[in-house]
C-alpha cells in the first residue's frame, strides 16, 4: 500500500493523484507503518485540494508515537515555539 501511494503521489508510472495517494498512505498507516502515517499527515497539511489541518496533525502524532523522526521534529518544534510553527514551516 505504501509503495502504491508513492506511485500516485510522485507519478511513478501513473498520473499524479494526491487523493488516491492519501487513501493508500492511510491504508498503509492503519497497521502502523510510521512513514506512511507521516506522509499522510504531510499531504494533508501541504496540498491545497485535500488540506485538513486537524487530520494532518493527528496523522503526524500517530507517526511520532511510532518514532518517525520527521513527525517528532515538526510536532516538537510546534510545541516548543508556543505558536503554530507548522503553518510557517509548511505554509
Question: Residue 26 contacts by C-beta under 8 Å, 6 or more apart in sequence?
Answer: 36, 40, 59
State the Cα–Cα distance between residues 29 and 76, nearest whole angstrom: 21
Domains: count for the chain: 1
pLDDT of residue 84: 60
Residue ranges making up the domain that contains 74: 2-90
- Record the pTM: 0.83
- Residue (of 26, 88, 21, 10) closest to 62 by Cα position: 26
**Which residues in the chain come in under a pLDDT of 70?**
81-91
Summarised one tens digit per residue, pLDDT across range 56-74 is: 989 999 999 999 999 998 8
The answer to whether 71 touches 38, Cβ cutoff 8 Å, is yes
CB-CB contact of 56 with 87 (8 Å): no
Amino acid at each position: 500500500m505504501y509503495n502504491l501511494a508513492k506511485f500516485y503521489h510522485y507519478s511513478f508510472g501513473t498520473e499524479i493523484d494526491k487523493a488516491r495517494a492519501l487513501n493508500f498512505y492511510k491504508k498503509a498507516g492503519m497497521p502502523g507503518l510510521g512513514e506512511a502515517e507521516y506522509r499522510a499527515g504531510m499531504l494533508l497539511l501541504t496540498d491545497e485540494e485535500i488540506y485538513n489541518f486537524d487530520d494532518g496533525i493527528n496523522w503526524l502524532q500517530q507517526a511520532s508515537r511510532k518514532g518517525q523522526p520527521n513527525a517528532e521534529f515538526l510536532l516538537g518544534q510546534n510545541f516548543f515555539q508556543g505558536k503554530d510553527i507548522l503553518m510557517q514551516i509548511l505554509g
